[in-house]
Amino acid sequence: MLSAPEDIKRPLSPHLQIYKPQITSVLSILHRGTGIVLFGGSLLWCFWFVSLAAGKASYHQGQALLLSPLGLFILLGWSFSFFYHLCNGIRHLLWDIGIGYEMTTVRKTGWTVIFSSVLLTGITWAMGVMKWKGLL
């Protein structure tokens, strides 16, 4: 195996500590992170379906877990991840057909993705709470 002599100082490649965060880099990292959260959420859905198939007692235990404060927080994060990944995926589809490459458009669509994700998550949770309380 060939290796460089120890006395040769090679430049290090710049990384996250060097570059100033930009909306494009932050949204790219967030897109990857939400993809991971969605995978975890799919496992949660599987758990819920298995508890449903396992019988009434198992289902009630699963529901109690999902409706606990921690469970609701996880579901909130999962739903935001879903809407963010969806909105940013639509943005990427537009890029795939050549629309939106100008930096001003990239920034505008990035902020649109963030605001629409928060708005869609809020609307979904508001409707869920209203349905749960019998207002819908």
DSSP secondary structure of 64-86 = HHHTSHHHHHHHHHHHHHHHHHH
Per-residue pLDDT of the chain (136 residues; tens, 9 = 90+): 556 566 677 666 677 677 788 899 899 999 999 999 999 999 999 999 999 999 999 999 999 999 999 999 999 999 999 999 999 999 999 999 999 999 999 999 999 999 999 999 999 999 999 999 999 8
Rounded distance, CA 89 to CA 117, Å? 12
Q: Which fold has domain 23-132?
A: 3 helical TM bundles of succinate and fumarate reductases (1.20.1300)
pTM of the model: 0.83
Given this model, what pLDDT does residue 81 score? Answer: 97
**What pLDDT shows up at residue 7?**
65
